[in-house]
Each structure stands twice: as C-alpha cells, then as structure tokens.
Amino acid sequence: MTETTVPSIDEITDAFALIDDWEERYRYVIELGKQLPALRPDQRNEDNRVRGCASNVWLVTHVRDAGPDAVVSFEGESDAHIVKGLVAVTLAYYSGQRARWIVDHDAFELFRSFGFEQHLTPQRSNGVRSMIDRIRKDAVRALAA
C-alpha cells in the first residue's frame, strides 16, 4: 500500500478557512486529488468500486489488528477530477483511524462545514454519501472480524 501525500484533515480545514472564493476552493480540491497516488489497474475492479457514485470511484480498504483495536486505512481514486479531490478529503479524514472512531464519525458533517452541500450537485453529494457509507461499513466489518 502506498501512503497518500495528501495534507492532513487539519491542514485541509485550515486551507478551507482561508479560501473564500468557491472557484478557488474547487481548484484546491482538484489539486488534492492530484496528490493521491494512483491505484494499480488490478485495484480498479468491481469489488472496490463504490456503488451510488455517478463517476467511477474505487476504494481499497486495509485493516490492521482486526477486532476491537482495528485500524483502517484506505486508498482511493476516481476518474473525475473534482471527485478524486473529494476522495482525497474523505481519505484524509478517515484513513489511519481506529475502526470504532470511523463508525462514530460521519465525514458528511465536515463536508457540510466546508459548504459542499450547497456547492455540489445533488448527484455528487449522493456519491460522497455513498463513499462515506462504504468506509463506515468497512470499519464495522473490521470491528467484527
């Protein structure tokens, strides 16, 4: 697994606090997506594809110490620039966290605080919700293992 080079969620949050213009925010999100390492071709498969996203989104889940102490990390990619950036923000929030924390925290609240709910199409918002749901379900599975 390749570690992402995406800034931490705290750094992303600080950047959003400084950027008022939505065109600039979109550019920033796209730049975040460009920092995600590409998945290997064999990882872009139906098992890793996130259902409910209009664009193709793939998530690869890695679990360390399955069970109550599970730590879950993720790799992800999309074939759409803005969506790949949304993947990057989501992974910055969740990847490397304990499974219990992932289950207890809904990144959609973070997306709302950034103003995405008002500035993303309903289709993209539904895709983000699908990605978050998939990550949280994977965390539930890691806890049960």
Q: What is the pLDDT of residue 135?
A: 98
The alpha-helical segments, DSSP class H, found in 7-52 are: 9-18, 22-34
Its pTM stands at 0.92
* Catalytic residue from among 53, 72, 83, 142: 53
Q: What is the CATH number of domain 9-144?
A: 3.90.1010.10
Residue 13: count of CB within 10 angstroms of its CB: 16
Would you say 106 and 132 are in contact if contact means Cβ atoms under 8 Å apart? yes
Q: Is pLDDT above 90 for 144?
A: yes
Annotated catalytic, 31? no
What does the pLDDT look like over 77-132, one tens digit per residue? 999 999 999 999 999 999 999 999 999 999 999 999 999 888 888 888 888 999 99
User: Which runs of E-coded beta strand occur in 69-142?
Assistant: 71-78, 97-98
Report how far residue 129's alpha carbon sits from residue 110's, in angstroms, rounded to the nearest whole number.
Answer: 12
Domain ranges of the chain: 9-144
Which residues share a beta bridge with 71?
64, 98
Token digits for 136? Answer: 């949280």
What does the pLDDT look like over 37-86, one tens digit per residue? 999 999 999 999 999 888 999 999 999 998 999 999 999 999 999 999 99
